[in-house]
Structure 1
Amino acid sequence: MDLDALLAHYFGTDEPEALDATVRERGEERLRIDFGVEQEPSRKFALWVVMEGLGIAPLPAEAFDEEPALKTAAEKYLDAAWKLERD
């Protein structure tokens, strides 16, 4: 999945930080809904990564409670992101 395309789809721009609060909230809500109904594992994980980047992702245990492999992948993603941020 292309990050810029996802941001443009949900927010109408690839720079959601430049949006006013109302437009950003609507995009975030659409993203949450699509994440909640997505059935394809790799697409669901990609949507979660976008949500994480925006600071709105649920914890891996909540997001992927019925999908242990995705839960593990999300936890590893957070570990790697934390290490990058720390260094």
Structure 2
Amino acid sequence: MDLDDQMRRYFGTADLATVPATAMAAGIEHARVDLGLERDRSRRFALWTLLFMLDAAPDLDVAFKDPADRDAARQLMELSERLTPDED
């Protein structure tokens, strides 16, 4: 699942800066519903990652039953923190 494809699916564009607030909220809700329904581990992880990037991801214990998936998500979170510039 390509990130640009996910953004186009849920928000109508790959440029999230152009998405109005109401459409952003609706897209996030749609993605959260799909995450809850998705059974494929890879697709679930991709959806969770998109939601994480939008600061809308559910807690790891809610999103992932498999400990390996939770560990992978934690690694992604840690990597993201390292790549995010400090705001002083």
The whole-number CA distance in structure 1 between the counterparts of 2:80 and 2:59 is: 14
Identity %: 38
TM-score, with structure 1 as normaliser: 0.89
TM-score, with structure 2 as normaliser: 0.88
Please identify, of 75-84 and 41-50, the stretch whose mean Cα deviation from structure 2 is larger: 75-84
Q: RMSD of the TM alignment (CA)? A: 1.4
Which structure has more relative contact order (CA 8 Å, sep 6+)? It is 2
List structure 1 segments (4+ residues) > 6 angstroms apart after TM superposition.
none
Q: What is the count of residue pairs matched by the alignment?
A: 86
The whole-number CA distance in structure 2 between the counterparts of 1:11 and 1:69 is: 30
**Structure 2 segments unaligned to the other structure (5+ residues):** none
One-letter amino acid of the counterpart of residue 76, structure 1: Q
Q: Deviations over 1:10-43 (max 9, x none)?
A: 1101122321111111111110000011000011
How far is the alpha carbon of 1:83 from its aligned partner? 1.6
